[in-house]
């Protein structure tokens, strides 16, 4: 019975992470206390990285994302970072400086990450956790630290995830043009 229940809980958590799906609005605070809302960036491709300031894999991803932000920022890319570990507020300034991170990065809670990513609290979560959100606010992909994206050439893999989103045209599909119906005359 326990095995069945565990499998059911795990399956429910994994099913919740299906993409694409609309991104809920999410907010966090920068080190200076300024709030940041995900909805501020509608119309841009957003890469949202949840990280631990003590995680070497997170630091490596942050370094690469900082390079991509500098390169693609004019093409409507916005990278955001959220540190979720205990003590992150105190450690974040050093993390940002050490990894040359210039994109908005602040502090959030572990619970807010689980909720945003629709992860089950029963799941083992490897860091970083990254969501790729299109210009219309749809989460198109989300990956964990053990994803193949973070193996091999991480920069090329991240570019391959971001480039197609930057090329997409935003907005709803064009509506069909209605032509007047000619009525038969008698």
* Tally of CA atoms within 13 A in the half-sphere of 97 that contains its CB: 6
Considering the entire predicted model, what is its pTM? Answer: 0.83
pLDDT at residue 123, as a whole number: 86
The pLDDT tens digits of the residues spanning 18-39 come to 999 999 999 999 999 999 999 9
pLDDT above 50 for 5? no
Q: What is the mean pLDDT of residues 151-163?
A: 96
Quick one: pLDDT band at residue 169, thresholds 50, 70, 90? confident
Range from 3-7, 85-89, 113-117, 178-182 carrying the lowest mean pLDDT: 3-7
- Domains of the chain: residue spans and CATH: 10-167 (3.40.30.10)
pLDDT tens column, 71-120: 999 999 999 999 999 999 999 999 999 999 999 999 999 999 999 999 99
The string of DSSP letters for 99-118 reads TT--S-EEE--HHHHHHHHT
Question: Can you give the pLDDT at residue 17?
Answer: 75
Measured between alpha carbons, how far is 156 from 105 in angstroms, rounded to an integer? Answer: 23
Identify the pLDDT of residue 1. 46
Q: What is the pLDDT of residue 4?
A: 38
The Cα–Cα gap between 20 and 138 comes to 6
* 83 contacts 53 by C-beta, under 8 angstroms: yes
| Predicted pLDDT at 48 | 98
Contact 50, 128 (CB under 8 A): yes
Q: Is the pLDDT of residue 52 over 60?
A: yes
Average pLDDT, the chain: 88
- Confidence check: pLDDT of 58 > 70: yes
User: In this predicted structure, what is the pLDDT of residue 184?
Assistant: 59
């Amino acid at each position: 019975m326990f095995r069945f229940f565990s499998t059911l809980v795990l399956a429910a958590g994994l099913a919740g992470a299906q993409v694409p799906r609309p991104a809920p609005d999410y907010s966090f605070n920068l080190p200076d206390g300024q709030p940041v809302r995900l909805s501020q960036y509608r119309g841009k491709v957003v890469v949202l990285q949840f990280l631990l300031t003590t995680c070497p894999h997170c630091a490596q991803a942050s370094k690469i994302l900082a390079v991509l932000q500098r390169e693609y920022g004019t093409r409507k890319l916005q990278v955001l970072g959220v540190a979720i570990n205990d003590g992150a507020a105190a450690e974040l300034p050093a993390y940002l400086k050490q990894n040359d991170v210039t994109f908005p990065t602040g502090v959030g809670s572990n619970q807010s990450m689980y909720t945003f990513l629709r992860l089950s609290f029963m799941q083992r979560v490897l860091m970083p956790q990254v969501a790729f959100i299109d210009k219309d606010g749809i989460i198109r992909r989300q990956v964990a630290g053990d994803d193949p994206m973070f193996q091999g050439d991480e920069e090329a893999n991240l570019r391959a995830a971001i480039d197609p989103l930057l090329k997409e045209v935003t907005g709803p599909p064009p509506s069909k043009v209605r032509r007047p119906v000619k009525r038969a005359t008698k």
